[in-house]
Structure 1
Amino acid sequence: MAVTKTYKLYVGGAFPRSESGRTYPVTGGPRGSIRANVAQGSRKDARDAVVAARKAFGGWAKATAYNRGQVLYRIAEIMEGRRAQFVDVLGGRPADRDAVDAAIDRWVHYAGWTDKLAQVFGSANPVAGPFFSFSTPEPTGVVAAVAPAGDPLLGLVSVLAPIITSGNACVLLASRDAPLAAITLAEVLATSDVPGGVVNILTGDPLEMAPHLAAHGDVNALDLTGTDPADRVALEEAAAGTVKRVYSPGPQDFRRPPGTARLRAFLEIKTVWHPTGAVSLAGGGGY
């Protein structure tokens, strides 16, 4: 007799149980049987994930673009090695094989972006004076994101990858009804050189946890891709209390070929100036 596996959350590079001890069944096995039991995250779990993300953010943001690219490419390599498992988790259909291949390709795509952000989003600004002015992109900080419910792997990767490409840390709420792809991806992240806490994946009901993340003072931005348009107004109002950056795309935005909008959504542009000539060796200023 097969033993039904109970999956846990992914927080701070570890796999803890929900603090409430709650789980819920995921069906879809033979004759509608239970495929697995999944941890049901709570408000406390969301807070713990934010603490882990904030702790990891500084080191990830300061990592070189080359290093971040290597880490993202390693995720693609490990996913390729576990391709059959991901296909099985999604259902084993031909369309699922295509989705897994597309998700792997998307990691490779964003791995190539890590060392190009400064060139594309930065600039050297013309000024009238004896100094240089530069605008450079910097990560926003801790981003809370809701993964699309209808595309549990490619949609999830399309949301997550651009967030961490630019040096942000992420708290990701997985699809409630199809969380197994997200949990399997967490196992990949845990073995692919991603520092613990850079990505935190919570399973359960996003509507239970999202409002607390939207109002959390240590969350810098929200990605509402996987939320129902009817729920977005309340989340945006909660986010306004702490002046969060909010990305609220169309419902099928993640299905389009990746562009620059998601990369730009969680970047801050910092402008600095440096005096010209020998004085520049002594330092500069910024605003």
Structure 2
Amino acid sequence: MSDRLTVSKTYKLYLGGAFPRSESGRTYPVTDARGRFLANAAQASRKDVREAVVAARAAFGKWSRATAYNRGQVLYRVAEMLEGRREQFCAEVAAGEGVPAKRAAALVDAAIDRWVWYAGWTDKVATVLGAANPVAGPYFSFSLPEPTGVVGVLAPQGSSLLGLVSVLAPVIATGNTAVVVTSQDRPLPAVTLAEVLATSDVPGGVVNVLTGHTAELAPWLAAHADVNAVDLVGAPQELRAELERAAAGSVKRVLRSAEPDWTAEPGITRLRAFLETKTVWHPMGV
């Protein structure tokens, strides 16, 4: 028998490209599907939500102005690094979701493939969702998609990696920045994804990851005046109406959806969800 003690991990938040402890100093235990201890995770507070929004807003200008080609290259680099940590993701998904190793591997592979898929959409969104509008007069009229701004994402509770990728990747692929509240009981793949983002080319603040109790953090995120939109897919059912009312106070865009079959083809619904359409008129011959 080994005399070596197991080093229990205490994971931190991911804010503005750094890994701070929660402002409150709180942590909570994360267990596997059988109730066995895996690690401690930071339990974020209201102040951590505010700090995450500040970081996301500061990063929005540069990220939204980056060329679509550049964003695509940055996202593809993330996919390369996800592939490099595939075994770790497989172990975390298997433990957290209680699925066999083969099933966990299939879910991780699907998550990596989906990240690549959204990376490929960065320079196609304007063509597919934009338009040259027919007008009666000597003018050009163009409609162009633009990012909404800072998006609050309540990550899916049941699908710790594939679901998370499916809601996060389209947000940042279209030029938005994100504040993510992870799955409460299965946060470890999200924390590992944060470590990937921190060592990739994604600028600090583009994605901010908060672990903790969803019911505690969601109202502050929905009510925050500097958050432009929220995705409620991971919100507790009993809180959804309250969160929508809170979001209405600052006229946020709200995406309402139950958790779908994340293994199905994603389509472009989530690419459209957090884009605004800007129409520009220009006289001919000028």
| Range of TM-score over shorter length | over 0.9
Equivalence for 1:25: 29
What secondary structure, in the 3-state scheme, does the structure 2 residue paired with 1:20 have? coil
Opposite residue 191 of structure 1, the aligned amino acid is T
Equivalence for 1:15: 19
Tell me the C-alpha RMSD between the 2 structures: 1.2
Kept in 2, the 8 Å contact 1:159–1:254? The answer is: no
Equivalence for 1:256: 264
Q: CA deviation at 1:229?
A: 2.9
Equivalence for 1:67: 70
1:149 paired with 2:168, answer no
> Following the alignment from structure 1 to structure 2, what is the Cα–Cα distance between the partners of residues 209 and 254?
24
> Following the alignment from structure 1 to structure 2, what is the Cα–Cα distance between the partners of residues 33 and 112?
39
Structure 2, unmatched stretches of 5+, are: 95-99
User: Of the candidates 57, 62, 66, which is equivalent to residue 54 of structure 1?
Assistant: 57
Kept in 2, the 8 Å contact 1:4–1:34? The answer is: no
1:173 paired with 2:162, answer no
| Aligned residue pairs, count | 277
> Following the alignment from structure 1 to structure 2, what is the Cα–Cα distance between the partners of residues 256 and 89?
22
What secondary structure, in the 3-state scheme, does the structure 1 residue paired with 2:219 have? helix
User: Of the candidates 32, 38, 41, which is equivalent to residue 41 of structure 2?
Assistant: 38
- TM-score of the superposed pair, with normalisation by structure 1: 0.94
What secondary structure, in the 3-state scheme, does the structure 2 residue paired with 1:236 have? helix
Equivalence for 1:185: 193
1:20-70 deviation digits (Å, cap 9, x = unpaired): 0000111229x8442111000010000000000000001000000000000
User: Of the candidates 142, 165, 168, which is equivalent to residue 134 of structure 1?
Assistant: 142
Q: CA deviation at 1:253?
A: 5.5
> Following the alignment from structure 1 to structure 2, what is the Cα–Cα distance between the partners of residues 259 and 160?
14
Kept in 1, the 8 Å contact 2:83–2:112? The answer is: yes
- TM-score of the superposed pair, with normalisation by structure 2: 0.94
> Following the alignment from structure 2 to structure 1, what is the Cα–Cα distance between the partners of residues 165 and 108?
10
Opposite residue 84 of structure 2, the aligned amino acid is G
Equivalence for 1:79: 82
> Following the alignment from structure 1 to structure 2, what is the Cα–Cα distance between the partners of residues 19 and 85?
28
Equivalence for 1:88: 91
Kept in 1, the 8 Å contact 2:141–2:279? The answer is: yes
> Following the alignment from structure 1 to structure 2, what is the Cα–Cα distance between the partners of residues 245 and 153?
24
Kept in 1, the 8 Å contact 2:215–2:236? The answer is: no
Equivalence for 2:106: 98
1:255-277 deviation digits (Å, cap 9, x = unpaired): 43111110000000000111111
> Following the alignment from structure 2 to structure 1, what is the Cα–Cα distance between the partners of residues 173 and 91?
28
> Following the alignment from structure 1 to structure 2, what is the Cα–Cα distance between the partners of residues 227 and 36?
23
Percent identity reads 67
Q: CA deviation at 1:131?
A: 1.1
> Following the alignment from structure 1 to structure 2, what is the Cα–Cα distance between the partners of residues 234 and 202?
21
